[in-house]
Amino acid sequence: MKSRRSYALFLGVIFIFGLWSVKSAQLQSLRDDWLNSADLARKLGEKGLKLSANTLFNTHTADNYCVKPNVTSDEYIANRPQRIRPEEIQTYINAIVNSGDNSTFNQLQCPHTIGSRYDILLVPDNKHDGKKRYFFALDLYQAVAVLPRLMGSIIEAMLYLGPEYCVLSIVEGRSDDGTWEILNALRYFVENLGAEFHLEVDGINPKAKGVDRIEALSRLRNMALAPLMCGSKAGRKQYAKDSIIIFINDVALCPEDILELLFQHVTQSAHMTCAFDWQDSGSCFYDSWVSRSLAGNTFFDIPRDKWDYKDFLFFDDPPSKKRYDAFLPLQVYSCWGGMATVDAAPFLQRKLKFRASEEDECYAGEPTLLAKDLWRMGMGKIMAVPTVNVAYSDEEARGTKKIRGYVADHVNTTVVALGDDLIPWQIEPPGMVKCLPDFSKPSWTKPI
């Protein structure tokens, strides 16, 4: 068993001996630089108003797989003043570094140990080839409230997996709550651990008038994958053939949630693996619009936009319901659930990306379309893991864990053997899949 307290001690030692290279005075200097860039900010704002939706979505390579921001971080930050004081930034960094310390923020409490079950995720001694194996990707907006728990858990998972094998790529945009400033200060910490760190900004607003929401969200997700997809062929060889993308929403979660999802992904030889995300303190599944069971239906019945049947997940798929009720992983057609692991290989090969619906195709969310494209490629080993439950605030996560349990409440984290966990994979997708442009207009469509 590896102690989380030993991780915190290790982090603290690094922190004390020079890791915090951006002192308060330096942060104040950065703040002054940004505030003195008001003229450039106005110019960028004026330019942004003239950008059409089509211009916003233009990609920057001929093959259409590499998506980068339209402005650099320096230019974009000049477009807004700093909204958080240097001492506040340090408070957040301290909370992230000392994951689970509730002296400042009332974080979701997580188990204090990481079980030997997850040693299977560690790089063997004979494979120390320097290649990256775990690519953490996030798109964050106004996420300051959840940052201590979210980033603390990610860093702790990276420490367990080996920071030198990890990449952390974050796209932030439009936040005025200090999200970017905290993440930018965290850069020095992550890089000194030995992990690769990328932080980009983009001002695209998926909810803006005249903007296709799914196209915008797809762009942001692809942008987070840019370090993986945009390099030269030689550059992309820094990633192992079996590397995995861990895409995480702005959720409160524990290190064991990340590691269990990775464990199931690896041991089940899955192509995509999802958590379950919840609202109303764990009483209602959140990602219902993008998720489909092996019966092709939503995880629970939603007649005419009514949520009366939210407690009856997998109502028309008895084998899946049996596994779900037993907290066993189950195969699905599509999912996301606030966190998903996906094989990186098709992204590295530029055969796969997040996208919006094509003309005459059912209007669907980008996770649904990603799953559809995986099925098309013969990569339909897509599953959801009922033992991994997350929510979109610390308070919601506490309620969710109380109802749904922690991973360790359902899994012996000292045991590697899967037993009944093993999924009998179905090779073919469902015959038909429910199409939901919105919840009031359901229909059925072909799965691929």
pLDDT class of 62 with cuts at 50, 70, 90: very low
Q: How far apart are CA 84 and CA 64, in angstroms?
A: 37
Cα distance between the two ends of the chain: 44
Closest C-alpha to 431, from 415, 417, 447: 447
Instruction: Classify residue 24 as left (phi > 0), alpha (psi -120 to 50) or beta.
Output: alpha
DSSP secondary-structure letter at 217?
H
pLDDT computed for residue 69 by the predictor = 85
pLDDT computed for residue 78 by the predictor = 66
Give the CA count within 13 Å in the CB-facing half-sphere of 119: 11
What percent of the chain is modeled with pLDDT above 70?
84
282 Cβ contact partners less than 8 Å away, ≥ 6 residues apart: 389, 391, 396, 399, 400, 401, 402, 403, 404
pLDDT class of 207 with cuts at 50, 70, 90: very high
Question: Which three-class secondary structure state does DSSP give residue 208?
Answer: coil
Among the ranges given (74-78, 258-262, 438-442), the one the predictor scored with the smallest mean pLDDT? 74-78
Write out pLDDT tens, residues 122-168. 998 877 888 999 999 999 999 999 999 999 999 999 999 999 999 99
Instruction: Classify residue 11 as left (phi > 0), alpha (psi -120 to 50) or beta.
Output: alpha
Q: How far apart are CA 120 and CA 263, in angstroms?
A: 8
Domains of the chain: 2-445 (3.90.550)
Rg (CA), the chain: 21
Instruction: Tell which wins on pLDDT, 100 or 359.
Output: 359
Average pLDDT of the segment spanning 86-114: 94
Residue type, 71: V
Write out pLDDT tens, residues 297-335. 999 998 876 788 899 999 999 999 999 999 999 999 999
60 Cβ contact partners less than 8 Å away, ≥ 6 residues apart: 66, 67, 68
Question: Which three-class secondary structure state does DSSP give residue 435?
Answer: strand
What Cα–Cα distance (Å) separates residue 246 from each residue in 72, 253, 335, 372?
Answer: 25, 13, 14, 19
Structure tokens at 162: 């080996």
pLDDT class of 80 with cuts at 50, 70, 90: low
Structure tokens at 142: 């106004």
Structure tokens at 335: 């999912």
Q: In which residue are the tokens 């974050």 written?
A: 170
Q: How is 85-130 classified by DSSP, letter by letter?
A: -HHHHHHHHHHHHTTT-TTTS-PPP--SEE-GGGGGGSPPGGG---
Q: How is 347-396 classified by DSSP, letter by letter?
A: HHTTS----PPPTTSPP--HHHHHHHHHHHTT---EEEEEEEEEESSHHH
Q: How far apart are CA 319 and CA 78, in angstroms?
A: 55
pLDDT computed for residue 399 by the predictor = 98
The torsion angles phi and psi of 330, rounded to 5 degrees, stand at -140, 145
